[in-house]
A and B are shown apart, each in its own frame.
With several copies, the nearest count.
Chain A
Amino acid sequence: MWDRNQMASRAALELADGMYVNLGIGIPTLVSNYIPEGIDVTLQSENGMLGMGPFPTEERIDPDLINAGKQTITELERTSYFSSADSFSMIRGGHIDMAILGAMEVSEKGDLANWMIPGKLVKGMGGAMDLVAGVKRVIVIMDHTNKSGDSKILKECTLPLTGKSVVHQIITNLCVFNVKQDGLEIIEYADGVDRKKIEEATEAKILN
């Protein structure tokens, strides 16, 4: 089984040199700690920044410089700023190579639900619907099951969707799936996890 950091570091292996990447809130944010040596990646923040730097030291905190998670951050030498409309032109227009997002549920067709639980949690989709609709490759990082042990990888999502057939890869604490035309393909097992354990934790159709 992988922990949060191991999941993030596994996701980082999907990065390639020169990519423009948008990282969602939560575990996806950790991916930036594991960018492989020799790989240069530019992070986009959908509130209007390309070239996001690390968190600031206490002295360098700037209230005018935050990321999409409202966290204080820093700029890099390559950084540019732009409006929200311009930011989503990049996203919707297919200029971002990869988005790595968290999820509540993913279906075997690549449907994604990560923005609301009717009657319980009504925070809003933020930029998630735009990201999954526009970004070239969408990777989800999440625990394989919820706190009650139910699978989050389903035949059909039960929660309101963020996007239909939008997820390309799922990285969980148990394994890595590629989303294929007719189901999910296991391409990697987490340490100490076998096929049986994945089957038990997965409602969706596994191809291999």
Chain B
Amino acid sequence: MGKIYKSASEALDGILFDGMSIASGGFGLCGIPENSINAIKESGVKNLTVASNNAGVDDFGLGILLQTKQVKKMISSYVGENAEFMRQYLGGELELEFNPQGTLAERMRAGGAGIPGFYTKTGVGTVIAEGKEHKEFGGDMYILETGLVMDLSIVKAWKGDEAGNLIYNKTARNFNPNAATCGKICIAEVEELVPVGQLDPDHIHTPGIFVNRIFMGSHEKRIENRTISER
């Protein structure tokens, strides 16, 4: 069906441009599109605006695009694990738009669903609400948040098929299904690429319509916070 590419760099060919906006799936280092991020670094594209819950760590995930200063602005809810991020931000080299985590996820979903704005109670009475339209519903105050539509979304799934259908594994799902919908183009990387008919239609998390290009990658899947119990 013409969606299959051999590698991240092939899948990204002709799509990247300076100043573009990118939505990325992943939470912490879990379920991040490692290969696409690496290929974006290699491409040298710059002045990126990236919407992603986190910014990776200094030498892995989106952190590597901060090292190379390819990112102009991050839209994130939590960047506490990234020292380089903090340095660039406090030094005024990097723009940062904090979004509450649920607001960020819903903004991606809304953008993908043709919803340009929605009201939420999250952030009312905080700096997040400053400059945003307020409106009362049923006696409570809400603020207007906008849908995010990005030039590109990059996501990582466990299995994918030739039609672009995706299945995620456990908490590696996180922002991926939402990010997948809000890019004008979506590139998915998977651990296993299978022919159509191999995935149960009731188990598919992201229908193929959202995925323009798909490739199989190898994934380090680094663990950020290895916590074990004795038994």
Task: Flag if B197 contacts A55 (CB, 8 Å).
Answer: no
Q: A111-127 toward B: CB 8 Å interface, digit per residue (1/0)?
A: 10000000100111111
Q: Quick check: A134 and B30 within 8 Å, CB to CB?
A: no
B228 & A84 in contact (Cβ 8 Å cutoff): no
Q: Tell me if A129 is interfacial: C-beta within 8 Å of chain B.
A: yes
> Could you tell me if A18 and B2 are in contact, using CB atoms closer than 8 angstroms?
yes
B contact patch SS:
loop
A54 within 8 A of partner (CB): yes
Chain B residue total in the interface (Cβ 8 A) = 81
CA distance A67 to B202 in the complex (A): 16
Compute how far the CA of A14 lies from the CA of B164 in the bound complex, rounded to whole angstroms.
Answer: 24
Does B6 lie at the interface of the complex (its beta carbon under 8 Å from any beta carbon of A)? no
Q: Does B178 contact A (CB under 8 A)?
A: yes
Q: A57-B229, A87-B105, A89-B109 are in contact. Are A80 and B165 (CB under 8 A)?
A: yes
Chain B residues near A126: list those with CB within 8 A. Answer: 77-78, 100-101
Chain B hits for A20, CB < 8 A: 209
Q: Which residues of A (102-148) have their CB < 8 Å from a CB of B?
A: 111, 119, 122-130, 133-134
Which residues on the B side are within 8 Å of A88 (C-beta)?
101-103, 105-106, 113
Closest to B85 in A: A122
Q: B161 to chain A: which residues have CB within 8 Å?
A: 78
Q: A83-B105, A164-B124 are in contact. List 9 more A-B contacts (CB 8 A).
A: A17-B2, A55-B228, A65-B171, A72-B223, A78-B1, A83-B177, A89-B109, A122-B79, A134-B102
